[in-house]
Every structure is written in structure tokens, then in C-alpha cells.
Structure 1
Amino acid sequence: MTQNNLGSAYSNRLRGERAENLEKAITAYELALQVYTRGAFPEDWAMAQNNLGIALRHRIRGEQAENLERAIATKELALQVYTREELPERWAMTQNSLGLAYSQRLQGERAENLERAIAAFDLALQVYTRQDFLEQWAGTQSNLAGTLIQRAALKESWIDLDTAIDLLQSALEVSDSNSFSFISVQYFLGNALSRRYEHSKSPRDLQQSLQAYKIALDNISLEHYDRDQLWQALPTTQSILGSRLVRDGQWQEGLQLLLNSVNQLSRGDNPLAHANALFQTGRAHETLSDWDNARLYYRDALRLYEYLQDRLGTAQSRAGLGSVLVSQGYLEKGIAELAKARESYHLLEQLDKVAEVDDIYQATQKAIEKQAIEAYV
């Protein structure tokens, strides 16, 4: 019991280096599991497995992909003891935690990982009802919504976005405005509304998105995050709000937020958030017709997305880079990137994006052919 409690204390510790605290927590849980065997102490064993999985999911050191695989394995072990029939609340807790791990998983097919995450959250919500477990219900609703937003981006599913927005607005009805969950829900809501605006072009979606992001940004503080977490939450929110402001015409304020986020995330331990910030900054510079900076940020984003094996991010960065290269007159280089982006979108079954890139590709191909004719003449 002492090692398990010690692990929990280190996991939640606000003082000291976050990475070191998590290493100590993992060690404590592993020591606890040397005593808590499944045969002798099944419930304690399952709790230590679940706690170890949470620490591994948040782990900063080591390979992120491997940490997540281990986290998933520990939660599935815990579910061998935590059954819905005998321990429904702990079963739901572990299903929710398993859903988070699958939503972040780097190995395997992205679409399949998201489906597993959604299934786990749905199972948790069978126990976490609004009537019986209000706080847990709201948190799981938010987690499910965040995963639906990811699936919407992967499959261009507007139904998923509508569902996510409904879930988040329901969660806000019961979230304390001074709580971490309130900030998280506002952040997800801003994200979902921003994505829906790209499809609906509704000014209401845009304004509500900006309002949600600003509320999240204004409420981020050390009261809700430890210092290391704050350095991730703040620039990530700045990045998304900044990109939205640029597209809304508030260029100076939006670009400054983006540059702040890139600078801070480059020193952090969330490479995906850093890649997203680089991409959004490239997109902002492209919107402002600042081709040189757009090319640099798109290229940096592409390298990081490729390293992370993020297929959607890679496709988006190639499309942006190709478009900018064409705008600068580098037609051959641009069309090569566009061809790769088009192929990637085909594999992701994002046909609207395929058509969008293909329009630029065909126009570039005609320009190259025209140059060849003029050179021959």
C-alpha cells in the first residue's frame, strides 16, 4: 500500500521536475506490483496496474510510442479484475483511462485507435451517468468529444463535430468555472466550433469558437496546471487561437500568438503540439502572402510530422508547402510536393482534400507545359 500511495503522491506532485516525479511514480508502482500479485491481492494489483498506466501515459522520458503501448497493456490487465458486474465504478474509471491512451496511441492505424477510444468512452458512460457520477460523466463526455473531433479531422465527418459540440455544451452545464475540466471543455469546444466553421462558414460558429478559446486562455494558471503542464497548455491554446484570429482578419494579434506558441513549444516535450503550431504558423504566413516564412514553417512542420509518423499532418504540410513553392515560381518542386500530398490524401480517403490539391496540381501542370512551349519557341 505504501509504494502505491507513494506513486500516487509523485504523480500528483506540483514541486520538482515533472519528468523526475513521473519516473519516481513509475518505480513506486512497479515495486508495489512485486508485492501485489493478482492471485493474493487482485484489487490492489489492478489499482497499481491502472495507476502505472496513467503514469506511463503522461511519461516524459523514453519513447512516447512505447510508453503508450505499456499504458494500454496495464489498463487491459486491470480490466481482467475490474469487471462491470463486480466493480462497476472502477471498471468505468479504467475504460475512460484506456480510451485516453488509445486516443493518443502512435502505433497502429490511427482510425482503428480512435474507434477503440470511442468504444471505451461509450462503455465508461454506461456507468458514469449524469445522475449518479456527475463529475466523471462530464469528464468522460469531454474526452469522448475530443476523440470525435480527431475522427472528424481524419474522416471529414461533420456529424462527429456536431455530436462533439453537443457533448461539450452538456459538459459545460455542470463544470465549475474555476476547475481544470472547465478549461479543458472550453478548449475542446473552441476546437470543434473552429473546425465546423471551416465547413459551415457560419459567423456564429466562428465567434463562439474565438470566445471559447479566449475563455480557456484567460483561465489557464498554476492553480489548474503544474508549471510543466502550463508550458504545454498555454502555447497550444495560443497556437489554435492565433491561427483562427489570422483567418478572421486579426493578423497582428493572431500571428503574435502563433510565434509565441512555436517558441515555447520548441522547448517543451509535446512534439505533436509543436508540429501543429509550426503548421498553423506556416498557414498564417501563407494567408499573409509571406511566402518565404510560410515555406520555412511548412517545411519544419513536415519534418516533425514525418518523424511522428502523423499521416494527416504530413499530407497537410506537403499540400501547404507545394502551394507556396508554386506561388514562388518553383513549379517543379511545388508539383512534386503536391503529388505526394494528393497521394497521401487518397490513402486517408479524404476525397475533398484530394480534389482541392488536384486543382492546384492541374493548374501547375499547365503552367509547366506553357513554360516548356515558350522555351521551345
Structure 2
Amino acid sequence: MGQMQDINQPSSHPEWLENLCRDYNHQRKPNIDEQRIQAYLQLIFSLLNCPNGQEMELLEANSDLVDGGLLEWIALVAADLAEKGNQNAADWLLNFASQLAEALGISSPSATPEEYLAFLQELLDTEYKSNGNPQAVYQVLQRHLNKLDTHFAQILKQVATAWISQHPEDAESIVVLIENISNLIQEFPLGNIANNLEIAIAGYAVVLQKREVNTEMWAQVQNNLGSAYRGRIKEDKADNIELAIAAFHNALQVYTPQAFPQHWAATQNNLGTAYWGRIKGDKADNIELAIAAYTQALQVYTPQAFPQQWVITQNNLGLAYCGRIKGDKASNIELGIKAHTQALQVDTAQAFLQDWAMNQNNLGNAYCERIKGDKADNIELAIAAYTEALQMYTPQASPQDWAATQNNLGTAYSDRIKGDKADNIELAIKAYTQALEVRTIQAFPQDWAMTQNNLGTAYWSRIKGDKADNIELAIGHYQDALQVRTPNAFPIECLQTSRNLGDLAFEIKNWQLASENYEKAIASVERSRNWATTDKRRHEILKDAIKVYEKMVQACINNDRLDKALEYSERSRSKTMGDIMASNRYFEQGEIDLKLKQAWHQVDPLNLSQIQGLIDNDKTALLSFYTTENDTHVFILLKDRLPQLFTCKGQGLKALQSWLWDNWLIPYVEFRDAENWEWKDKMGSVLAELSRRLQVNELIAKYLNGIEELIIVPHLMLHQIPFAALPVAVGGMGWGEVEPPGMGSQ
């Protein structure tokens, strides 16, 4: 956040505030918008008198009146009815308003418009009279916590805009007060943090209307607005971060290292933090941008001139190095440890206790991830660092930081090698549970979901207590986490939790639960891949998650959902094929149209009916091969029948696919490149062995009687096999290979 702007003396006595409030309050009286208010009242009267069950029809017929204003007037009418003794009608109206507000995503006002306006007047008056004293303003905010909501944000924006328009001579004074109030509310630690940020954003929107573009004052608001968007809880997280990045870049159009070195460094640090948390774009590239921004800031922030800012930026740089994707992982973590350790050297005098504790926490994180050194010793160093941080952090003074460190301590105990395993897990559960005292779904939904996920993993691995009870607790915590971690909002986090829950369900043979959560995991993978901007990153995402597709197929098979198993086997294949087609390395001789390339990345998988549509007649069968860790499955699909399954037991990735790599592909490459005749000499025996492993004769006898044509959809190394050359028993049918577009590939 930038420093609070100095307050200029207004053009007249503070009575101007009272006059403005009185003017605006008068404008809210019915005579200013009589027609709309009469329409509200008529609709409310109709709702009270319509037959039961016809309320929705009335609302649909008057959809232009269904908004926050209707809710306000329902509250006023209900109060009037109650005052006149008609409590039943009042209660019905209030209950109806509550349901309507929920449907609209609007919270019911906690005060009347007049009360909100009086609060705003008191707030601005205190800001003016105290000359911007934060404590004086915070006392007012604390007395009116119930009014710090989205309704107040709307009123602030409406009132301030009206005042500026009607009193241009006082516009600058109003803008200064609104900006300073917005800064203070953004930093206010009490109340609903999400609402506080909405109020601040509304205030900055008003201020920017009166700030000349590319001026110092405009840049200051842009920097503060960026901080508000970066921390914003409501709306889409990914979009909020993009808005933050845009605001910081706007500020840097004015803030240069020559003209405004301190502001430039502060904004570079903020920009780095936004890139570090960025959801859109390529993760690896975002981290590089964060490191570059932090490094820029450290050109100005030195331990001698700006010790506290240097410590904060060193801490951020340490985090970025520890999370870095590019470069050598072990070396990056060592750079992170170095950055945190350097910051702690400045903090030894305990001049900045909060920053010291923050660095201890992050140093603990670095030791947890450390590759070099002894793993057990690194975890002990992490536990020691977290414990040091908790000497400073308390749930009262630093609730968020305390909860984050408790969460991290829980993870360290979960991973601990030294000590008793059962006791370590109990310590982890205790730490996670304490973190949830602060991390609630209302106040900190993302952090709450993270700890719920961790707690689920701890209960899954718990040794003490009843195993069945622990499993149920683990499932419950994972499901809680997935309330927030959805494929669209947080795909990476959703992949983690849904895969965890899917694996747990797979372990206990709850195939329905497993397939439901692998489905979420796959949706998360595909959303992440669509957001990735490079072929390399898309490949990495799919490589890290390929087991999810495999387990989804197996869970569907075990759940007797062969249709879904076939669809997901094709889904994993089509995504890989789309990436291959869109990759530049396969089209070196010409450029690919950008829209075509994007279409390949977003290829829609075929469903069962579409796959069956590729089969022309009842004499044709489609055989789709899919190899898992343990087995190779062959899906048999006819034109008018549900899929059937033939499983080659024991012919998994290692037994079959690796065998083909060693005995078919490598010898073939050697034959092609160096005329090594071993491949040609052994071709017959290798194909005969493959036919035996795939149990071709049994497959034909059981499923392919009367079939005259085959569509073969291979998997992995099977793409390199000439299926027509596979030997079969005398009298058996021959193999003919046909591959329709979008399915297999040779």
C-alpha cells in the first residue's frame, strides 16, 4: 500500500459535510423517484395478496424491479406492518426477502439507508477532524462493524459520486477524504475482510474518476487499487489478480526508479507478489516475472537504507525461488534458504518482530522442500523454524499468520521421519485443527480449504483411533475442501484434493466415490492445460496427472461403467493427440494458424454415441486398447451394443509397454538408422509373443465371431505394431486395421 496522502484544507468549514449528507438524504425521499418506488410498493402489495405459489410468476413479470432496491422497500414495509400490529404479514415479507436476497446473491442490509448515510457522515467527519489519524477512524469502524458490507460499498460510491457532481468546489476535498478512508478500510483488520476490500475498491473507483491519468496521485491510487484486487476474496480470483497486475503496471507508467525510487520499488514488490499468485498464464513464466520484479525492487531497497522493506522483499524473493519451476530445483531452494537467512540476519536485533516471524515461517517451508542435505534433519530444522515463528505470532495479534504457521507445522509433523510416527500424526492433526480456529470458510475460504485438505490427509494416514472412523473423517475433510476448490476457480488445488479423495476411495474400493472425484480431477487438469501458454507446460501438466486418467478408467471398470471407462480412455488419448498436433515441433515446415492451434488444445473428447457412430454396420467392431499400471484392457464396441471388456491380466505398463519398447521400438530404430537386422530377424517371434500376451485367439473366439472388419485404437507402444501381421490360430479371422480420424494413430 502506498503512504496515506496528506489532507488538504477544504474550501469551507466542516459543515459542508453535514450539508452534503443532508442533500443526499433528501434526494432519497420518495419524491425524487416516485414512479419506481410506487412500482416497488405495488409489487410488494401484489406479493402479499397473490395466491400461494404464484410469487415467482409475479417476480418474473416484474423482473426489472427485482434488485436491491426492492429488498430495501420490503424491509421498510415489513417494519411498518409490524408497527401496526400485522406481525404475520411482516414476518412473511422478511422471510420472502431473505430467500430472494439469497437467490440474487445479495445479502440483506444490516441497516437502513439513513443509518448507512449517518455512518458515512461520521466516518468522513472523523477522518477530517483527526487529520487522518488511523486510530480515530478505526474506533468509528469498530463501532459500526455491522455496516461494513457490500451495501455500504454501493452507498459510498453513489453518495461520493453525487457529492462530487453537485459540489465541484469541494470535489478535491471529498476525493482526498474518500481515498484516505479507502486506504484505512483496506488495512482494517476487523469485520469481514472480504467486505472491507469491496468498500475500498468502491472508494478507489470514485477517486480515479477525479485523478488525471499518468500523474503521481493517479499512480498512488492505482498501486493501492492493485493491492486491494490482489487480496480480493469476492468474484473470480484469477480475474482479480489480472486486475491487480494491470493496476500495478499503470502505476509503473508514472513511478520510475529515477523520479520516484521508493514508490517504484514498492510497486515492483507488489507486482512481484501478484505474479507469484497469478492463476492465468504459464506458472513457470509467472514465477520468473515475480523474481524479476523482486530483484528490481532490491535495487532500491538495501538493508542499510530500507531495512524493513529489504527484509519483506528478501522474504518474497525467497518464496519465489523455492517455488521456481525453471532451473535446477535443488539450487533454487538453496537460493530461497539464502534469501530467508539473509533477512533473518537483519532481524536479529528484533527491530521488526512480525517480519522476523514471517521469515522464520518461510524458512521452515524452504527446509521442508529442501533436496540437499539429510531429509530427516531438514524437517527438524523446519519444525524448529515454525516453532520460533509461533513465539511471535498469536491468534489474537496475528491471526492469519498464526494460522498459516500452524498449518505448516502440521505438514512438517505429517512428514516427520524422526520420532514416533503415530505421535507425529497426532501433533499434525492438533496443529491443523488449531489453524481452523482462524481459517474459516467465511473469512478465509482458500486457506480453510487448504487446511481441510491437509487434515483429510492426516486422518487418512492416522494410526491411532478406529480406522473406519478415521477414513470417514478424512473423506469429510476432503469434501469440505472441495466446496471451495472447484475445477473452474482453483484447478491446481482442485486437482490435488479431488485426486487425494479419489485415491482414498480407490483404496477402500468405493468405486463410485473414486470416479466422481477423478472426474473433478480430470476437469481440473484440462482447465489448467487450457490456461497454460506453452506446449512444454501443457505436456508437464498432463504428465503429472496421467495417473488420474488411468485410475478413472479402472474405477469405472470396477464400477461396471464400461461406457464411461471407454470415454475416459479416449479422452486421455485425444488430449495428448491434440497437444501433439498443436506442437510446433511437428510442424517445422510451416506456421500453424493460431485459431486452429487453440482448437487443437481445446479438442472435445468423443462420447460413446459419437464413437459408435464411427461403426458403419453390424459386421464391424471397434477395439480400443488401454494399458494401466497392472493390465491392458481391450474395449470391444459394436454398432448397437454397449461396450464389452476383455482384460489381459498382468500386461501392464512395465510388462507390456516397456517390453515393446525394448523388443520392438528400439531394435526398429537401430534397424532403420544402422541397418541392424536383429529387428527384422526377430519380427516374427516378437509378434507371436505379443499375440500371446494380448490373448488374441481368446479375444477373437469370445467377442469377434462373424466380424468382418476391425477398427483398431492402439495405446502407447501399440501404435507401432502392424496388427494385421499378428499371428492367430488356424481357421481364425485375419486382422485388418482401419483408423478413423480422431481415434487412433499409427
SS in 1 for 2:652: helix
For residues 1-377 of structure 1, what are the structure 2 equivalents within 5 Å?
A: 1-13=220-232, 17-129=236-348, 131-151=350-370, 157-178=375-396, 179-196=399-416, 200-221=419-440, 225=444, 230=445, 232-248=446-462, 249=467, 250-262=470-482, 264-267=484-487, 269-290=489-510, 300=521, 304=525, 307=538, 309=540, 325=630, 330-335=649-654
| Superposition deviation, residue 325 in structure 1 | 3.8
**Aligned counterpart, 2:588:** none
Change (3 A) 1:272 1:159: farther
| Superposition deviation, residue 209 in structure 1 | 0.7
Query: Per chain length, whose mean CA-contact separation is higher, i.e. which structure has more relative contact order (CA < 8 Å, sep 6+)?
Result: 1
SS in 1 for 2:364: helix
Q: Distance in 2 between matches of 1:122 and 1:76?
A: 17
Normalised by the size of structure 1, how large is the TM-score? 0.74
Change (3 A) 1:264 1:11: closer
Change (3 A) 1:18 1:130: farther
CA shift digits 1:174-222 (9 cap, x unpaired): 212141011101110111101116x654322111011111222342126
**Aligned counterpart, 1:364:** none
Which range is displaced more, 29-38 or 18-27? 18-27
Counterpart code for 1:190: G
Which range is displaced more, 301-310 or 203-212? 301-310
SS in 2 for 1:219: coil
SS in 2 for 1:129: helix
Q: Distance in 1 between matches of 2:237 and 2:513?
A: 34
| Superposition deviation, residue 3 in structure 1 | 2.9
Change (3 A) 1:64 1:202: closer
Structure number with bigger Rg: 2
Matched residue pairs, number?
Answer: 340
Normalised by the size of structure 2, how large is the TM-score? 0.40
Q: Distance in 1 between matches of 2:291 and 2:251?
A: 19
Which range is displaced more, 28-37 or 183-192? 28-37
Q: Distance in 2 between matches of 1:272 and 1:156?
A: 29
Counterpart code for 1:240: N
Change (3 A) 1:265 1:109: farther
Q: Given that residues 272 and 308 in structure 1 are in contact (C-alpha distance below 8 angstroms), is that contact kept between their aligned partners in structure 2?
A: no
Change (3 A) 1:20 1:311: closer
Q: Distance in 2 between matches of 1:260 and 1:55?
A: 27
Percent identity reads 31
Q: Given that residues 325 and 331 in structure 1 are in contact (C-alpha distance below 8 angstroms), is that contact kept between their aligned partners in structure 2?
A: yes
Q: Distance in 2 between matches of 1:83 and 1:136?
A: 16
Q: Distance in 2 between matches of 1:336 and 1:318?
A: 20
SS in 1 for 2:343: helix
| Superposition deviation, residue 81 in structure 1 | 1.6
CA shift digits 1:275-317 (9 cap, x unpaired): 3223422442354255786688679579949858379966997
Q: CA RMSD in A?
A: 4.0
Q: Distance in 1 between matches of 2:504 and 2:473?
A: 12
Counterpart code for 2:391: E
**Aligned counterpart, 2:112:** none
**Aligned counterpart, 2:644:** none
SS in 2 for 1:40: coil
Higher share of residues assigned helix: 1
Change (3 A) 1:216 1:23: same
Counterpart code for 1:30: H
| Superposition deviation, residue 170 in structure 1 | 1.6
SS in 1 for 2:367: helix
Q: Given that residues 237 and 489 in structure 2 are in contact (C-alpha distance below 8 angstroms), is that contact kept between their aligned partners in structure 1?
A: no
SS in 2 for 1:7: helix
Q: Distance in 2 between matches of 1:164 and 1:65?
A: 25
Q: Distance in 2 between matches of 1:215 and 1:289?
A: 32
Which range is displaced more, 293-302 or 105-114? 293-302
CA shift digits 1:235-260 (9 cap, x unpaired): 32222211221222211121232244
| Superposition deviation, residue 90 in structure 1 | 1.6
CA shift digits 1:25-84 (9 cap, x unpaired): 322221221222222222222112111111222233333333222111111111112122
Change (3 A) 1:32 1:220: same
| Superposition deviation, residue 151 in structure 1 | 2.5
Change (3 A) 1:58 1:133: same
